[in-house]
Copies of this chain bind each other. A is one copy, B any other.
Amino acid sequence: MLASNYVREKYSKKFIKISKSEREGFYKILFSRRDVRSHFTDKKDITLSTLIRILNAAHHAPSVGFSQPWNFIVIKDIQTREKIRNSFFKEYKKSVELLETDKKRKKIYQSLKLEGILESNINICITYDSTRFGPFIIGTTAIPETGIYSVCCAIQNLWLAARAEEVGVGWVSILSNKDLKKILSIPRHIKPIAYLCLGYVSEFVNKPDLERSRWLQRMNLKDLIFLEKWGNDLISQEKRNKVNEK
């Protein structure tokens, strides 16, 4: 089950066609993935085999120079989680103070559910090891941060695989990495990248929580795409080209 050989044998053909229904199923998973905080249920545990499938998806993310610089610490113990929640509370208090002059936003902010550390079934801390397979790692010589970027790609693979398994994931980033390292005995040279809460859910809501609460709006994609250079609107360029071709 753990062996990547399973994966290899199954997908060893030179060119694997993706059917229309497979593509549609993929988009369904991608667009219905949510950052879960409020909807964890305690009706069902994540089994070891489901957990391994989700982590195996993370492990098959791209990594710079094939460095695979990730580790996964699975946390079940409630006392450990309580310590981590205390770190959340400490950092949360500090963040509320930053909104002192903006009473309206402060009120909305304080009404938001921002973590599901205890209500979720398990927590996973994902870390980055800059020394793995080093010192010479292909692709990191000009931009060393790419190792961290690889870990983030693994996190997104994990998140989507969890959705495919109908498991919700919530990323808690209102935390002190210093606390996290102490609580989880993480060595000095290892950097925590994400702290995730996983569990089965009562629902995957149709929009992100912060969009539903009107904290922020989803931006229009066309305003985010440029052609050739920064600031050069792609969509209007493409339209102009089409007119010129006629």
Binding site for B on A (CB under 8 A): 2, 4, 7-8, 10-19, 21-23, 25-33, 35, 48, 52, 55-57, 59-62, 64-68, 70-77, 80, 91, 94-95, 98-99, 102, 105, 109, 112, 114, 127, 133, 136, 138-143, 145-146, 148-149, 152-153, 155-157, 159-161, 163-166, 171, 173-177, 184-187, 190, 193-194, 202-208, 210-211, 215-216, 218-222, 224-231, 234-235, 238
Instruction: List B contacts of A62 (CB < 8 A).
Output: 33, 35, 156, 159, 171, 208
B66 pairs with A208, CB closer than 8 A: yes
- Top-7 shortest CB links A-B: A152-B152, A22-B25, A156-B156, A66-B210, A95-B141, A91-B142, A153-B156
Q: Which chain B residue lies CB-closest to A12?
A: B206
Specify which chain B residues have a CB less than 8 angstroms from the CB of A16 in the assembled complex.
28, 32, 204
Given known contacts A16-B28, A27-B57, A174-B141, A187 and B230 CB-to-CB distance under 8 angstroms: yes
Within 8 Å by CB of A142, from B140, B176, B194, lies B176
Residue among A138, A194, A202 having the largest count of chain B Cβ atoms under 10 Å: A138
A15-B202, A80-B228 known; 9 new pairs, CB 8 Å cut-off, are: A18-B28, A22-B29, A26-B26, A30-B57, A35-B62, A62-B208, A65-B216, A143-B177, A152-B156
Shortest Cβ distance from A70 into chain B, in angstroms? Answer: 6
Contact A225 B67 (CB under 8 A): no
